[in-house]
Amino acid sequence: MQARKILALTVGKLIFKITTILKIGGGSAAPGLYALKIYPDLVSDLASQIPQTIVITGTNGKTTTARMLAHFATSSGLKVIRNSTGSNLERGIASALISCSHLPTGGLKNFDLAIWELDEAAFNQIVPKLKPQIIICLNIFRDQLDRYGEVDSIVKKWCQTLKNMPPNTTLFLNGDDHKLLSLKKCFKGPVFTFGVENYKIRGEEHFKKVGQEKLDLEALNVTLLGLDGVKFELKESDGLWDFLLPLPGIYHIYDFLAAYVAASKLGIEKKVIIQALKSFSPAFGRVEKFTLPPPGWRHKNEGGYILLIKNPTGATQVFETLKGELKPEDRLLIALNDNLADGTDVSWIWDADFELLQNSPRAGSRDFLIFASGTRASDLALRLKYAGFKPEAILVENNLKKALQQATEGLKGRLFILPTYTAMLGIQKILVQQGLKKHYWKED
């Protein structure tokens, strides 16, 4: 077995080197994929060396939560390993373990904490191998159902997985997602719920709370500060604490709360967390700001933002955030791809409220341009037309690079880029080529 393990690690490390040298990605999946073929027990073998393991699953917010939690942990002096590029299948975890391990033993001795974000379906196979001390379930929405089956059946499978977990694990649940609350009874260990005052999530919408059960921790007195972020309070046993989260929208409060409760469980102090929040930058493509375009352009603009959209709930939340923000001189570039990682079914765009963008109060009278791009640009253009945009204001360009160029030409305000997952990777690549951004795997 030892020989297989060494071979697997050697092959993995080699692939990692090759992909990095050839710049064909950061080696976030391929090393693990091939190493696992040689040594299938690689993940449980290597991961067991790390004293604390936290896993995060859910439809939306995994990457942001993991990134925030890692930021809190490193700020308090812990050494963290994680699958930082959103590669959340077993091969992604294997790749991270391989790249940090030492040959020939596969040693990972200097790490204090592992934070793994897990794909909703892969969760069930990987959790038993990782034996985590903390499990976080963020939410469950319709996302790429063509791959996973129905929402109800995902929750059922999670329930089965949790039933087999030892009671010394702690389960943190988003208590505002009523589908997740049913998981309480599946687990024999301690369960802790968090949420936002006066909100609950049902299906694909936020509803005002009516007779909701008491949650263990709630964000109180929420104030939205536009794109700059959101302010709220947490009532703890030692008093009321103020938090300023540099990410916009109610939905990011849930990501924060998940990171916060897990960090608290690890013994990280509130003061450290509050301080760390000031220097937190969002995950790639999640409300990311960048400068645009390079110097020498005729008009001065106010830069660009990338906000990932990938399912009805997430997209609607992004539209909610932008709704009050859009000014007449701003532009939108929306890119819809239908590759496997995006979901080959693009029908979800009809469940997302694109109407919110059109009803944006400040954008009402502008000479408004909206660029539709990606492999399914024409489906998107149609959705925009039926959301109320004038057909002549919708510009269709499948090619991302060309669309980006058109969208920045003559831009005076801000450019909001709303891509699906693989379109986001494409945009990142283009921005890197143009020297406007670093490679995502070099971030952090």
> How far apart are the C-alpha atoms of 424 and 19, rounded to whole Å?
20
Bridge partner list, 231: 223, 244
What's the min distance (Å) between Cβ of 152 and other proteins?
5
Beta carbon of residue 348, minimum distance to other proteins (angstroms, whole number)? 6
**Catalytic residue at 353?**
no
Among 122, 222, 224, 382, binds other proteins (CB under 8 A): 382
Q: Single out the catalytic residue among 330, 345, 367, 444.
A: 345
Is residue 151 close enough to count as binding other proteins by CB under 8 A? yes
> Is residue 347 part of the contact set for other proteins (CB under 8 A)?
yes
Determine if 399 is a binding residue for other proteins (CB under 8 A).
no
**Strands laid side by side in the 217-224 sheet:** 80-82, 113-118, 52-57, 134-137, 170-174, 191-196, 217-224, 230-236, 239-245
Amino acid identity at 420? T
Q: Which one of 48, 221, 275, 344 is in contact with other proteins (CB under 8 A)? A: 344
Q: What's the token pair of residue 329?
A: 């001189």
Q: Which two tokens stand for residue 377?
A: 């640009």
Question: Token pair of 6, please?
Answer: 């060494």
Tell me whether residue 107 or residue 149 sits nearer to other proteins (CB atom).
149
Residue length of the chain: 444
Token digits for 198?
Answer: 């006066």
141 binding other proteins? (CB under 8 A): no
> Of the candidates 41, 152, 269, 409, which one interacts with other proteins according to CB under 8 A?
152
Distances (CA, A) of 430 to 22, 232, 439: 17, 37, 10
CA distance 309 to 424: 9
The yes or no reply on residue 351 touching other proteins (CB under 8 A) is: yes
Q: Which stretch binds other proteins (CB under 8 A): 116-124, 150-158, 251-259, 284-292?
A: 150-158
Distance separating alpha carbons of residues 74 and 62, to the nearest angstrom: 18
| Per CB under 8 A, 72 contacts other proteins | no
Among 146, 213, 269, 409, binds other proteins (CB under 8 A): 146
Residue 342 region by backbone torsions, left for phi larger than 0, else alpha for psi between -120 and 50, else beta: alpha
Q: By CB under 8 A, is residue 145 in contact with other proteins?
A: yes
What is the set of active-site residues? 345
Contact residues toward other proteins (CB under 8 A) are: 142, 145-146, 149-152, 344-351, 376, 378-379, 381-383, 385-386, 391, 394, 396
